[in-house]
Amino acid sequence: MHHEAVAVANMAEERKRQKRRHHLPGWRGLGQGMGAAWTRLVHHTSARHRAVVLLVLALGAVLRILRMDLPVTYEEALTYSAFASRSFGFLFSDYSVPANHMLHSGLVRISLLLFGIHPWALRLPALLAGLLVMPLGYAFARFVFNRHIAVVFLCMIAVSGPLVEFSAMARGFSMVWLFTLCALLAAWNFVRTENLPSVMLLAVACALGMWTTPAMAYPALMAYAWSLFQLFAHYNTTLRRRMLKLAASFLLALVLVLCCYMPVIVAHSVDHLLHHPAFQAVPWSGFPRAQQENALEAWAYFAHTAPPGVMIAALMGGSYAAYVSSKYRWLLLAMVLGALPLVLVQHWALPPAVWTYALLVLWLGAAIGLFHLLKAVQDKLAPGSDVGRRSLVGASATLLLLGWGALRGSDNPKEHFAEARPAAAWLAQNTRPGDRVGAQLPWDAPVAFYLACAQGNLGMLRGSPAPGGRLFLLVAPSHGQTPGGVWRDAGLGASTLPPLHRLHRWQRLELYTAD
CA distance 328 to 55: 27
Lowest mean pLDDT among 15-29, 48-62, 121-135, 344-358: 15-29
Instruction: pLDDT band for 21, please (50, 70, 90 cuts).
Output: very low
Q: How far is CA 273 from the centre of its chain?
A: 21
Contacts of 227 (CB under 8 A, 6+ apart): 187, 190, 191, 202, 246
Whether residue 485 lies inside any domain: the answer is yes
pLDDT at 76: 94
Q: Are 220 and 162 in the same domain?
A: yes
- In which domain, by residue range, is 486 found? 420-514
pLDDT at 131 over 90: yes
Whether residue 135 lies inside any domain: the answer is yes
Whether residue 24 lies inside any domain: the answer is yes
Q: Average of pLDDT values for 360-380? A: 83
Q: Are 255 and 146 in the same domain?
A: yes
Q: Are 490 and 398 in the same domain?
A: no
If one compares 132 and 343, the residue with the highest pLDDT of the two is: 132
Q: Are 356 and 240 in the same domain?
A: yes
**Do residues 216 and 177 lie in contact, with contact meaning Cβ atoms separated by under 8 Å?**
no
If one compares 402 and 125, the residue with the highest pLDDT of the two is: 125
Q: Are 377 and 475 in the same domain?
A: no
Residue pLDDT, tens place only, 197-206:
899 999 999 9
Instruction: pLDDT band for 1, please (50, 70, 90 cuts).
Output: very low
| CA-to-CA dists, residue 176 to 83, 91, 180, 341, 467, angstroms | 19, 19, 6, 20, 49
Could you tell me which of 387, 122, 354, 321 has the C-alpha nearest to residue 217?
Answer: 354
pLDDT at 91 over 50: yes
Q: Are 175 and 299 in the same domain?
A: yes
Q: Are 67 and 143 in the same domain?
A: yes
Q: Are 121 and 10 in the same domain?
A: no
What is the number of domains present in the chain? 3
pLDDT at 283 over 80: no
pLDDT at 329 over 50: yes
Whether residue 414 lies inside any domain: the answer is no
Three-state SS for 280?
coil
Q: Are 427 and 446 in the same domain?
A: yes
**pTM for the whole structure:** 0.88
pLDDT at 235: 85
Q: Are 393 and 426 in the same domain?
A: no
Whether residue 482 lies inside any domain: the answer is yes
pLDDT at 20 over 60: no
Residue pLDDT, tens place only, 142-165:
999 988 899 999 999 999 888 999
Q: Are 401 and 431 in the same domain?
A: no
pLDDT at 379 over 70: no
Whether residue 320 lies inside any domain: the answer is yes
pLDDT at 376: 74
Q: Are 319 and 288 in the same domain?
A: yes
pLDDT at 112 over 80: yes
DSSP letter at 382 equals: S
Give counts: helices (H), strands (E), the chain: 23, 4
